Amino acid sequence: MSPATNSHECIVEVGGLPISLRTDDPHFLESVRQRYAGFISQSKPQAELLLELATAASASDEDVQVLRDGREWLVKRGDFRARWDPQTGRGTVRQNPSPYALDSVLRIVHSLILASTGGFLLHAASAICEDKAYVFSGVSGAGKTTMTRLAPENVVLLTDEVSYIRPAGEGYSAFGTPFAGELARVGENCSAPIAALFFLNQGPENRVDELPTTIAVQRLMRNILFFAQDRDLVETIFASACQFVSRIPVRQLTFYPDSRVWNEVVSFGREAAHA
């Protein structure tokens, strides 16, 4: 990968982690600023990606590959090829001239960084109500987007697609992300302590049920986003999942799709806070 001059820079901060994006193409950088509006930062970057644009677009419908190459990670798909060095916090990306290729690279880099800190990206919606974050996970069609659509006006959407979860003190916090799903709405750039994680199941009533620890960990592992089939990484994420389940209430939420389900959610959060 030949180096770009990288004379233009913007910093995108997601989950409290500012990453510098540098390129020699000011027009592309402007499209990046528009794509991540609300997450552009003036903070000192903790990581850096040097971007080089490919002269011709390539297909993006193939599966992403994330492989170890010495101390670096090699990340590739039809529309991008990247290297990431976790020791230096620097990486290089050659990609199509589309912010959406960069979107995939950023998700992968954040997932690798989070894994080293005990956090993870989760296929889940999340939102803040009464200064507490609630996370809603499950298979496609379980109701993640429905829960965000049913949320009262005072609820702040963090994401309807990819929840950003990091350890914080004795618990965990959820952060807003720009990684939008079906709602096509970027989350708010804020965070809150997690009160509970719910695995969703639509049904004839609203009900919160206990989950055995082993089942909770299994379901969590199925929904954590990690792109590399690397043994050490899988073991690290498994340990993080076990730690999360030991600290945060994880329940199954059966719900009928109307706004009253949020009364059940918030009531559970209040009870858990005083338990």
Residue 190, SS3? coil
pLDDT for 274: 77
Domain residue limits, the chain = 8-115, 120-273
pLDDT for 1: 44
Which residues pair with residue 50 across a beta bridge? Answer: 22, 92
Measured over the CA atoms of residue 163, residue 222, residue 248 and residue 246, the dihedral's sign is negative
CATH of domain 120-273: 3.90.228.20
* 129 close to 155: Cβ distance less than 8 angstroms: yes
The whole-model pTM stands at 0.92
Q: How far is CA 212 from the centre of its chain?
A: 25
What is the rounded distance in angstroms from the CA atom of residue 103 to the CA atom of residue 84? 15
pLDDT for 100: 82
**Please, which pLDDT band fits residue 5 given cuts at 50, 70 and 90?**
low
Q: What is the pLDDT of residues 175-215, one digit of tens each?
A: 999 987 666 678 999 999 999 999 999 889 999 999 999 99
What is the rounded distance in angstroms from the CA atom of residue 258 to the CA atom of residue 268? 17
Residue 272, SS3? helix
pLDDT for 99: 78
**Please, which pLDDT band fits residue 4 given cuts at 50, 70 and 90?**
very low
Tokens of 57: 């677009």
* 76 close to 82: Cβ distance less than 8 angstroms: yes
**Please, which pLDDT band fits residue 257 given cuts at 50, 70 and 90?**
confident
Q: How much is the average pLDDT of 128-156?
A: 91
